[in-house]
Structure 1
Amino acid sequence: MKIAFLLHNVYAIGGTIRTTLNLAAALAERHDVEIASMQRHRETPRFTVDPRVRLVPLVDTRPSGLDAHDPRLGEPARDFPSAEKRYRQYSRLHDERVAEYLRSSDADVIVGTRPGANVYIARFAPRQALRIAQEHLRHDAHSKALRTELARHYRTLDAVVTTTEADAAVYRAKMPLPGVRTLAVPNSVPRPPVAPSDGTAPVIAAAGRLVRGKRFDLLIEAFSAVADKHPDWRLRIYGGGAEEERLQALIDRLDVAESARLMGPHSPIEAEFAKASLVAVASDAESFGMTIVEAMRCGVPVVSTNCPLGPAEIIQDGVTGRLVPTGDKDALAAALLDLIADAPARRAMGTAALESAEAYDPEPIALRYERLFEDLAASRLSRGWERGRAAARRRAGHVARRWLTAARHATHPNRPAPATPATGAKRP
């Protein structure tokens, strides 16, 4: 079987890139796998790519690249959804290159890894291929405009795969897609090539993009309470982003600069997690929680906010880590202090976390995808009938609404016709 992934930029750093490479490598054990990267901004990928996985760069945006002077690179995209957060990074050249790649693809399965890629697949991928949309962001994190566009295109796909059961339930409730399988498959995280933490180092680690939603400010404030009682403990925050200056100013204002440090981006992160005894996550929302699993794979318990949607599906509170209310710095500090004070409990949680994280091995996750491919292929006909019946019901509903509108207008000819939502113009 040939499996193709459509990815934003395999040459960059990010959770979606890493989990796609993990899954692609596991599937390459038994299948022909390639990753089409819609962007290329550097010579080689930052992450290690399994040599069995073929990379296909579609648009080379390097200053010295072949596409740097193509005039289409300066034209706005027409097919990539304008409500997608990365819309400004796409162009007419991307539209044409991706469409050409998809239309000529001989893959049996084509998997998109973000909303814009999924729309491209819905529009241009061959119908004989199984077409699957992965959602690495939460349904509710998308704007209303984007959700409306996705619903129109997703109904033509074969499956929508979220990273958590909670998000799959939201999609089924808010974006019903007849004939389309909507299910959850978690991200895979391989066993790291480092020895697990022994739980003795007085270090709390955290990692992620330095953006407001990750709430590193909340973590720093919580740690200031920890530092008052345990001045030997250290906080190490790994990552880069727009909030760096603000977070450093907060560290300075709270007078914890001696014990709390912004360490900058670091990849892979597991070597740093293995040097810690605790990992903290203070986010307002997580679509999955890759850093949680990465920490657990290093034998480190995680103290996390119980934010939607991922942490509660990964952490067993009191067994493999701790869950605290979102936005509550006092609860976060208390949980950290409890585990700092109780070294045996901390080490027991680390051992349980290490065992629990084996569920995220790439091999069982790849097997779940293989079973999904088999199910989608076997159910293609029945799902087609389901899709057709739903389309017929929609058309009947449109006809009925038009008939009712006409009947009301005939009964009350002087009543103004209702305006259309899109333009405000009167219906004829």
Structure 2
Amino acid sequence: MKIAFLIHNVYGIGGTIRTTLNLAAALADRHEVTIVSMLRHRAHPRFAIDPRVTVVPLVDLRADAADASDPLLREPARVFPAAEKRYKQYSRLTDLRAEGYLRRCDADVIIGTRPGVNVYLARFAPRRALRIAQEHLTHDTHSNGLRTQLARSYRDLDAVITTTRADAGVYRAKMPLPGVRVLGIPNSAPDPGPAPVDGRDKVVAAAGRLVPAKRFDLLIEAFTDVAAKHSDWSLRIYGAGADKERLQRLIDERGLGDQARLMGVVSPIETEFAKASLVASASDAESFGMTLVEAMRCGAPVVATDCPLGPAEIVQDGVDGRLVPVGDRHALTVALLDLIADESGRRRMGEAARTAARRFDPARVAQTYEDLFAELDTTRRSRARQRLKGRLRGLPGRGLRRLRSGRRLLRNLARLRG
């Protein structure tokens, strides 16, 4: 079977890139896999890519590339939705390259990995292929305008996959898609190897984009209380982003010195998680919670806010980690202090975390996708009937809305003439 992934920019750094590469490598055990990168900005990808996986870039943004002088690169995109937050990075050239590739694509399964790219998938991919949209962001984080665009595009696909069961439920409730399979399949993370965390190093680690929603400021505040009681413990935050200077000022203002440090981007992050005794996340919201899975695979217990939508589907509170209320500095501090004071408890929880995280092994997740491919293939006709019935049910409502709109237009014209 030939499988193609459509991704924004495989040459960058991010959770969607990591998880796509994990899944692609696992599927490459039995299939021919290609990753189609809409954009390319550097010579080599930052993450290692399985040599069995083919990478096809569509638009080369490097200054010395031929695409840099193409006038279409400076024309705004017409197909990529304007409400998508990456819209300014797309162009008429991207539209045309995506259309050209997809119309000629001979893959049996084509998987898009972000909303705007999924619009390309719905618009241009051949109908003989199974067309699957992954959603690495949640339904409710999309603007109303983008959701309207996606509802029109997604109804033509075979499946929409979210990273959590909870978000799949939101899509089914708020974006009915007759004939389209909507389900949650978690991201995968490989086994980092035979050396799990031993629970002795006095380090709390955290990782992610340095942006307000990740609430590293709350984690620093909570660690200020921890440091007052345990001066031999340190906090290490890995990542990059717009919040870096603000977070550094907060560390300085709290007098944490080298006890709390911003470490920059490190890949693979598992090497750092394996040096920590705890991994913490204070996010206000997560579409999944990839760092939690990566920490648990290293045998590190996690302390995380019980934010929508991912952590509760990853962490079993009190067994392989701790969940605390969103935005609650005191609860976060207490959970950290409890685990810091209980070394044997940390080890038991870390062992439980390592065992529980096996369900995110790439081979298992890949098998779930293969089962889905088989199901979608055998239900093509029945889902096509569901899709047709759904559209027929919507015709009266759409016709009535058009009639009302026409009447309003005629009234407005009459007023202008009068």
Normalising by structure 2, we get a TM-score of 0.96
Deviations 1:327-363 (A, max 9, x none): 0111100000000011111111000000001100001
Deviations 1:285-336 (A, max 9, x none): 0000010000001000000000000000000000000000000111100000
Please give the residue correspondences for 1:335-350 in structure 2 after superposition, counting only pairs within 5 Å.
335-350=335-350
Structure 2 match to 1:174: 174
Structure 2 match to 1:321: 321
Structure 2 match to 1:32: 32
Structure 2 match to 1:158: 158
Letter in 1 for 2:217: D
Structure 2 match to 1:358: 358
Structure 2 match to 1:190: 190
Please give the residue correspondences for 1:4-83 in structure 2 after superposition, counting only pairs within 5 Å.
4-83=4-83
Q: Distance in 2 between matches of 1:425 and 1:161?
A: 46
Give secondary structure in 2 for the equivalent of 1:304.
strand
Tell me, which stretches of 5 or more residues in structure 1 are unaligned?
A: 407-415
Letter in 1 for 2:212: R
Within the alignment, does 1:95 sit opposite 2:95 as a pair? yes
Structure 1 runs (4+) greater than 6 angstroms displaced: 424-427
Q: Distance in 2 between matches of 1:2 and 1:179?
A: 23
Q: 1:400–1:11: structure 2 CA closer, same or farther, 3 Å change rule?
A: closer
Q: Distance in 2 between matches of 1:272 and 1:82?
A: 38
Q: Distance in 2 between matches of 1:279 and 1:401?
A: 53
Q: 1:181–1:147: structure 2 CA closer, same or farther, 3 Å change rule?
A: same
Letter in 2 for 1:52: R
Letter in 2 for 1:96: L
Tell me, which stretches of 5 or more residues in structure 2 are unaligned?
A: none
Structure 2 match to 1:286: 286
Q: Distance in 1 between matches of 2:228 and 2:201?
A: 18
Q: Distance in 2 between matches of 1:345 and 1:425?
A: 75
Q: Distance in 2 between matches of 1:116 and 1:253?
A: 41
Structure 1 contact 194–274 (Cα < 8 Å) conserved? no
Deviations 1:366-421 (A, max 9, x none): 01000100111100000000100111111133345667x69xxxxxxxxx94469x
Letter in 1 for 2:36: A
Q: Distance in 2 between matches of 1:291 and 1:399?
A: 48
Structure 1 contact 238–265 (Cα < 8 Å) conserved? yes
Give secondary structure in 1 for the equivalent of 2:187.
coil
Structure 2 match to 1:136: 136
Q: 1:253–1:417: structure 2 CA closer, same or farther, 3 Å change rule?
A: same
Structure 1 contact 194–271 (Cα < 8 Å) conserved? no
Structure 2 match to 1:235: 235
Give secondary structure in 1 for the equivalent of 2:39.
coil
Structure 1 match to 2:107: 107
Give secondary structure in 1 for the equivalent of 2:59.
coil
Q: Distance in 2 between matches of 1:145 and 1:54?
A: 35
Q: 1:40–1:194: structure 2 CA closer, same or farther, 3 Å change rule?
A: farther
Give secondary structure in 2 for the equivalent of 1:331.
helix
Deviations 1:133-175 (A, max 9, x none): 0000011111111001000100000000000000000000000
Please give the residue correspondences for 1:183-222 in structure 2 after superposition, counting only pairs within 5 Å.
183-193=183-193, 195-222=195-222
More helix as a share of residues: 2
Structure 2 match to 1:119: 119
Letter in 2 for 1:229: K
Normalising by structure 1, we get a TM-score of 0.94
Letter in 1 for 2:320: T
**Identity of paired residues, percent?**
67
Structure 2 match to 1:249: 249
Q: Distance in 2 between matches of 1:48 and 1:258?
A: 31
Structure 1 contact 418–426 (Cα < 8 Å) conserved? no
Alignment length (residue pairs): 414
Q: Distance in 1 between matches of 2:17 and 2:320?
A: 26
Q: How far does residue 193 in structure 1 lie from its aligned partner after superposition?
A: 3.7
Give secondary structure in 2 for the equivalent of 1:45.
coil
Q: 1:193–1:182: structure 2 CA closer, same or farther, 3 Å change rule?
A: same
Q: Distance in 1 between matches of 2:272 and 2:75?
A: 42
